[in-house]
Structure 1
Amino acid sequence: MALTQAQLDALPDTLDVPLRKPLEQPDGSLLERLSLREPTAGEIEAFAAKASGIFAVSLISGVPEQVVRQLPAREFKKAEAYLLGFMEDALPTGPAS
């Protein structure tokens, strides 16, 4: 289902998702929040090719996929839902006919 222009306009430009429990990144630093932004057209295309929420959150936040995989479900779903608002039309709907 395509979003209306009003629905697209209502999406915020950025979204910060605070983490209830910080996660350690590969460099040893702690990730305390995910910072997301509106994806570019090329990023939407890359997401559609992979069809993976983990890939999308990693791509837009800059957080490695291995760390995104450790996110608690609520924080991941909040981040994924924000990005899916922009990418809904890019999702595969089933096998090509």
Structure 2
Amino acid sequence: MSQPEEKTLKLRKPVKLGSDDSEVVYDKLDLREPTAGELDKATSTGGSNIGIGIVLIHLVSGLPKSAIEKLSQRDFTEANEYLAGFTDDGQTESATQSPT
């Protein structure tokens, strides 16, 4: 099964930043295949796997990093698994193709 090029993830628990008139509510993540540069930036953070995931979701979705840090575990996991699927699918397709 191939990975969809884009995915909108409706958040189970919307993330709120700011307060009163300046409050911004994020209720979805628009995700797509990460670029090589985004992968490089995320992995060069030198952090944990969770830290790398936060940075990558931030770069791909365009949402502030502070909003990504407030995602529920299930939303974070779903977004992370979607982005990881591009790497897994790419390796699987290359490995399963027979030479011509």
Q: Work out whether the TM-score is over 0.5.
A: yes
11, 25, 29: which one aligns with 2:17: 25
Shift of 1:86: 2.5
Show structure 2 runs of 5+ residues with no match: 91-100
CA contact (8 A) 1:44 1:87 kept: no
- Which amino acid in the other structure matches residue 27 of structure 2? E
Query: For the residues of structure 2 that align with 1:21 and 1:41, how far apart are their CA atoms?
Result: 30
Give the fraction of aligned pairs with identical amino acids, expressed as a percent: 35
- For residues 8-65 of structure 1, the C-alpha deviation after alignment (integer angstroms, 9 at most, x for no partner) is xx11111111112221135522111111011112112222222511001111011111
Distance across 1 between alignment mates of 2:81 and 2:11: 16
Task: Tell me the residue number matched to 2:86.
Answer: 86
| RMSD, aligned α-carbons | 2.0
Unaligned runs of 5+ in 1: 1-6, 90-97
The CA distance in 1 between the partners of 2:67 and 2:15, in whole Å, is: 7
- Corresponding residue SS for 1:17: strand
Letter in 1 for 2:80: E
- Aligned amino acid, residue 81 of structure 1: E
Aligned to 1:53: 53
Greater relative contact order (Cα < 8 A, sep 6+): 1
